[in-house]
Structure 1
Amino acid sequence: MTKFILKEVNRLVKKYKTRDPFEIAEMMKINVCYHELGNLKGYYFYQSKFRYIVINKNMKEELFPIICAHELGHDRFHQSFAKNDPIREFSLFDMKSKPEREANIFAAELLIPDKTIMALFKEDCTYANVAAELKMPIELVDFKGQILKSKGFDIGQFCISGGDFLKR
């Protein structure tokens, strides 16, 4: 499934000429809304041929693109789950759920280009430095690292991606 996800990200980036999940959502006619959601980070739902990504407006703004990209992954691969009930995100980077893992792989591949992260790995050599430079959660950088390893890149193992990092 990972190869299929990576192909879909490449297809979208080529088609829309951007890696910005908000621009892609707009061009795909997916409505992005912001609401107070309590502990909920965001959710995706599909109703009557209309697709929605809803983001918790009370989160740090730098997390908005990550949530949007993650929910965009659900749109691409899990629409059937969202027809009856929204796919809700209480924690991102959950490794226990296959749909959540797939959405995380989609988000990491969309938001972090290979060339960018490989240049940073050559300079800094630590996941923490790379995450700080990219202004991304270290868990997302870890997902990208796992993707790069699957593509044959020689980078160190990290594997810290858990489902509770946004709770901190």
Structure 2
Amino acid sequence: MDKLIHTLTRKYKTNNPFTIAEHLGIHIRFADLGEHTRGIYYSKLRRRFIVINSRLNSHWQRFICAHELAHDRLHRGLNRFFLDKYSFSNANKYERQANRFAVQLILINTNIHSGETIEDFFLKNGVPTEMIKYYTRNS
């Protein structure tokens, strides 16, 4: 995953998930997805889409874009709804991987300053503090 993130950010000269998705030909849409769904990744007729809940603030929208981008890069071809209903596979494993990817992508090339808390570091970089558990020091 680390190598993939470095490759993407080097190739497209950004860690902005919206820009990377655009370069990859992934269509971004915003829609009211209700209270419980933050985003969806799907493909239809060879076109790939990320749909982000329009109710979210800009930091969450960027994080969700990065999360759904992870599904495109790491889990393409897997259907979360199918996994939940018909398989013994742990779909949560893929969600954790996508969260870790999103945290690493957004925080690449940033460091915690001496005396800075992890919460302040996340807030400063626009990453939801709920995602701290997915952060690794080598991110």
Fold conserved between structures, TM > 0.5: yes
Q: Contact between 1:45 and 1:85, CA under 8 Å: does it hold in 2?
A: no
- Return the letter of the residue paired with 1:100: E
| Partners of 1:42 and 1:86 in 2: CA distance | 17
Q: Contact between 1:36 and 1:57, CA under 8 Å: does it hold in 2?
A: yes
Q: Identity over the aligned pairs, expressed in percent?
A: 33
- Correspondence for 2:131 among 140, 155, 168: 140
State the partner residue of 1:105. Answer: 100
1:128 equivalenced with 2:119 (yes/no)? yes
State the partner residue of 1:158. Answer: none
Per the alignment, in what secondary structure is the counterpart of residue 55 of structure 2?
A: coil
Deviations 1:20-51 (A, max 9, x none): 00000000000000111112111000122110
> How far did residue 76 of structure 1 move?
0.5
- Correspondence for 1:32 among 23, 28, 35: 28
Gaps of 5+ in 1: 88-95, 154-168
1:58 equivalenced with 2:44 (yes/no)? no
State the partner residue of 1:21. Answer: 17
| Partners of 2:128 and 2:48 in 1: CA distance | 27
| Partners of 1:123 and 1:86 in 2: CA distance | 45
Q: Contact between 1:108 and 1:143, CA under 8 Å: does it hold in 2?
A: yes
> How far did residue 53 of structure 1 move?
0.1
Q: Call closer, same or farther: CA 1:85–1:31 in 2, change over 3 Å.
A: farther
| Partners of 1:50 and 1:32 in 2: CA distance | 11
Per the alignment, in what secondary structure is the counterpart of residue 136 of structure 1?
A: coil
Q: Contact between 2:28 and 2:52, CA under 8 Å: does it hold in 1?
A: yes
Q: Contact between 2:41 and 2:68, CA under 8 Å: does it hold in 1?
A: yes
Any runs of at least 4 consecutive aligned residues in structure 1 with deviations exceeding 6 A, and if so which? none
Gaps of 5+ in 2: 84-90
Q: Contact between 2:66 and 2:101, CA under 8 Å: does it hold in 1?
A: yes
| Partners of 2:124 and 2:44 in 1: CA distance | 38
